Structure 1
Amino acid sequence: MQMIRSALFVGQIYVAMLVLGIVFAPYAIVSRNGAYAACKTYCKWVFWTMGWMVGIKGEVRGDVPQGEVLIASKHQSFLDIMLIFHALPAAKFIMKRELLYAPIIGIYAKRLGCVPVARGKRGAAIAKMVADVEAGRAHPGQLIIYSQGTRVAPGAKVPYKVGTAVLYQQLGQPCVPVATNVGLFWPRKGISRRPGTAVVEFLPEMLEGMSKDEFMAQLESTVEARSDALMREGGFEPNGVH
């Protein structure tokens, strides 16, 4: 029965994405606020339906940043994207360039000011984004990067990429790490959904001025330790997976 409910849930969220994307399109085209309204409305719909359809409750913990900061998050599934985005006042993502050509998602990503990065050309994209912000051409806000560069299954060990430290130093802004356990309930692949409380947690701010090595060591240890704790809270022992 849970698999049937999961399949129905997954199907309807894609239909909702299409419908809301079309309905909000005129507003989004003329105003960035319209793009934010569309995406936040979609998040609310997903959060509401996942509760009664598959038994997942979304929870955001910690102090949510309001000003310009870098957000360095662990990434386990599409759900952590939505929880982080909905919590922040002006979120935008470092994203794979291929997503710009995805229906609906690509259009709204451009309007939100997300930064597309081609494989092997992250440095050039980041440099342009920093220049655009300084020149007033880019919309300021909270820039989100997934430091491991991909969705990581609970318990899997994937190294953190130094590009996060490069971005941290180029921006000259504090960094807020984010931990999560959402992959326990909404996996990175497949349609199965498991009941439980999916959490993203904003951790204490890391101030600007650290060296690359110091920053990366602190970021990884902080995010991994807290994510492991959240996964244990969800009934999963991360050290039991290799």
Structure 2
Amino acid sequence: MTFLRSLLFMVFFAAVSAVMFVAVIPALILPRMVMVRASQRWSRVMFWGLKWIAGCDYEVRGEIPKGAVLVAAKHMSMWDTLALYMLLNDVCIVVKRELLKIPFYGWYIKKAGVISVDRAGGASALRRMTAESKPVIAAGRPIAIFPEGHRMRPGDVPDYKPGVAGLYALFALPCVPVALNSGQFWEGFTKRKGTIVIEFLTPIPAGLKRAEFMKELQERIETATNALIAEGSYLLAR
């Protein structure tokens, strides 16, 4: 049944995405918020399909942040990006630059307002990322970043990158760590029945030194994520 549900959801995902990608072409020349609302609607439709086709629901824990704040989230699957777009108002997500080259999808996320980063760019990439972040913060938008820079499977050894610390120090913003267990239920093609949990943790106040901040961020995210993975494993084993 898991394979069949996963297959049906993949067909649903592809069909809805194709229709949406064509329908929102005019938004490329309209105000940015039109594309933002379209992205949020697309995410909601996908979550609806995930629940009713694949049997995979979601639960939000903690307080969803608002306004200019740095959100640092664990990254396990595409679900994470959809969730951040849907839950955070006008969020600006830090993405790898290669995504902007994908036809339609790349055009649309660029229009919605993302920050692109070259993962092999080193110091120059960090400077570019901070430059692109300034107008976002000035507009009062939240910035979401995946501090490990790529998707991690449940149980993988943490691999936190310095980019999040650069943004934290430059803008003197509080940082909201986010834990989740999406990789247990959305694993590539396979979608498992259950409930994904995303948890917004207590904000880390601005002003910590770089090493202290990175240690605190990793400990909070990993501790909470491991607890959610244990919770998910229990449910999957039932």
Same fold (TM over 0.5): yes
CA distance in 2, matches of 1:135, 1:6: 40
CA deviations over 1:120-174 (Å, ceiling 9, x no partner): 3254344345445546898541111111111011111132112211121112211
Query: Is residue 2:156 matched to residue 1:120?
Result: no
Contact 1:60 1:83 in 2 (8 A): no
Match of 1:233 in 2: 231
Match of 2:25 in 1: 25
CA distance in 2, matches of 1:143, 1:192: 29
User: Which runs of 4 or more aligned residues in structure 1 lie more than 2 Å from their structure 2 counterparts after TM superposition?
Assistant: 119-140
Shift of 1:5: 1.8
Query: Is residue 2:146 matched to residue 1:158?
Result: no
- Give, as a single letter, the amino acid of the residue that structure 2 aligns with 1:30: L
Count the aligned residue pairs. Answer: 235
Match of 2:66 in 1: 66
RMSD: 2.1
CA distance in 1, matches of 2:21, 2:42: 9
- Give, as a single letter, the amino acid of the residue that structure 2 aligns with 1:227: T
Match of 1:50 in 2: 50
Q: What is the SS of the residue equivalent to 2:93?
A: strand
Q: What is the SS of the residue equivalent to 1:85?
A: helix
- Give, as a single letter, the amino acid of the residue that structure 2 aligns with 1:231: I
1:183–1:134 Cα change, 3 Å: closer
Match of 1:240 in 2: none
1:166–1:137 Cα change, 3 Å: closer
Contact 1:179 1:223 in 2 (8 A): yes
Query: Is residue 2:172 matched to residue 1:149?
Result: no
CA deviations over 1:20-54 (Å, ceiling 9, x no partner): 12212213431111111111111111111111111
Match of 2:86 in 1: 86
Q: What is the SS of the residue equivalent to 2:52?
A: helix
Query: Is residue 2:28 matched to residue 1:5?
Result: no
1:135–1:177 Cα change, 3 Å: closer
Contact 2:73 2:145 in 1 (8 A): yes
1:210 equivalent among 208, 211, 217: 208
Shift of 1:177: 0.5
Query: Is residue 2:186 matched to residue 1:200?
Result: no
CA deviations over 1:165-208 (Å, ceiling 9, x no partner): 11211122111110000111001x3x111111101111111111
CA distance in 2, matches of 1:80, 1:106: 17
Which segments of 5 or more consecutive residues in structure 2 lack a partner in the other structure? Answer: none
CA distance in 2, matches of 1:193, 1:140: 35
Contact 1:58 1:83 in 2 (8 A): no
CA distance in 2, matches of 1:221, 1:75: 15
CA distance in 1, matches of 2:2, 2:133: 46
Contact 1:28 1:38 in 2 (8 A): no
State the TM-score, normalized to the length of structure 1. 0.90
1:159–1:131 Cα change, 3 Å: closer
Shift of 1:58: 1.6
CA distance in 1, matches of 2:162, 2:5: 40
Which segments of 5 or more consecutive residues in structure 1 lack a partner in the other structure? Answer: 238-242
1:113–1:218 Cα change, 3 Å: same
Match of 1:98 in 2: 98
1:228–1:20 Cα change, 3 Å: same
CA distance in 2, matches of 1:212, 1:70: 15
1:176–1:122 Cα change, 3 Å: farther
State the TM-score, normalized to the length of structure 2. 0.91
